Amino acid sequence: MYQIGIDIGGTNVKIGLLDETLELTAEASIPFPHTTAVDMAKKIRAAVLALLEERNASLSGVESLGAVVPGSIDASGETVLDAHNLDFHDVPLRRLLQEQFPGIPVYIANDANGAALAELYKGAFVGCKTGVLLTLGTGLGGGINLNGKMFNGGMNHGVELGHAYLVDGGEPCTCGNHGCVERYCSATAIIRMAKEAVAQHPESAILTAVNGDASAINAKVVFDAAKAGDEVALTVFREYVSYLSQAISSIMQFLDPEVVVLGGGVSKAGAFLLDAVRAEVPKYLLFKMMPHARIELAKLGPDAGIIGAAMLGK
Ligand SMILES: [Zn+2]
């Protein structure tokens, strides 16, 4: 039997088949159809049938289907309340998918929660019961596993660690508040800090790497320049690590998890980022001499959404 996982993003919809050993055995991607959600559900059905056919299987061989979206889901697990990148507002996504896959259990969830669930089954959370995943991308998503299960909040809205408060009177956020964690700990934050820094220090290797075009700066360019020893990039990197470590220490004080996992595009900086954060976090902790949560990199990378979606039915 197969589990189907669907990761609906603003640019494409990724679809995967997981076999009985929970291995991702086939994968397809279709461009996100900027039409109706009904039309998208039909396109998903066609793509799933094609994937199954390639493996001489049919819908009768499917145990469950899950889909994740970058947005909030209502308490009953039926409706996408808001997913700005998809322009989904009050979309009854579970029912629309169910209509395309009659007889198969269908589930929907927030994508960061899905990624955390995937890490629980197959990744950095294996062997521990309580852990937090931070996806450091364009925004900052968070997922919490509590006592071996995905924690979706008391009101079922999911956790919004990216919009926890970090800096008094800080940067305006897309959510309407100021100073959110996301404004200081995402890839977008690194880019903003780097642009401010190169405006003061145009001699920086950051600007050289983008041929003088500050609009082309991304997180990788900044971290690469920092790794190469550029002082301006190192200042941005240290500032970023400081903010991220403050956010992580708050999570540790609040939840006392066994592990905090860093995922998303920024985490591709690997040991360079991990070592710096591991060194910085204890500065902010209450019990400096006591063991605290391990800080690790996510293991699943870009497939985490598909795998987590497929796990929703497990
Ligand atoms: Zn916010």
pLDDT digits (tens, 9 = 90+) for 223-258: 999 999 999 999 999 999 999 999 999 999 999 999
Ligand 1 centroid, distance to 87 Cα (angstroms):
18
What's the gap in Å between 179 CA and the centre of ligand 1? 7
Q: What is the residue type of 262? A: L
| 173, 193, 246 from 176: Cα distances, Å | 6, 20, 22
CA 69, CA 7: separation in Å to the nearest integer? Answer: 6
Contact predicate 205/247, CB 8 Å: no
Question: How far away, in angstroms, is 172 Cα from ligand 1 center?
Answer: 8
Distance (angstroms) between ligand 1 centre and the Cα of 171 equals 9
For the stretch 127-145, pLDDT in tens is 899 999 999 988 898 889 8
178 CA distance to ligand 1 middle (Å)? 7
- 């690590």: which residue's tokens? 241
- What separation in Å is there between the alpha carbon of 163 and the centre of ligand 1? 4
Using the mean position of ligand 1's atoms as its centre, give its distance from the Cα of residue 184 in Å: 10
Confidence label for 214 from pLDDT (cuts 50, 70 and 90): very high
Strand order in the sheet with 149-151: 149-151, 140-146, 131-136, 259-263, 294-297
pLDDT band at 291 (very low <50, low <70, confident <90, very high): confident
In this prediction, residue 44 carries a pLDDT of 96
Contact assessment for residue 262 and residue 140, using Cβ atoms and an 8 Å cutoff: no
Pairwise pLDDT comparison (217 vs 123), residue with the higher score: 217
State the residue for tokens 């493996």. Answer: 55
Confidence (pLDDT) at 138: 85
Confidence label for 84 from pLDDT (cuts 50, 70 and 90): confident
Length of the chain: 314
Q: How far is the CA of 217 from the centre of ligand 1 (A)?
A: 23
Mean local confidence (pLDDT), 290-301: 91
Q: What is the pLDDT of residue 152?
A: 78
Distance 153 CA to ligand 1 centre (A): 18
Confidence band (pLDDT; 50, 70, 90) for 95?
A: very high
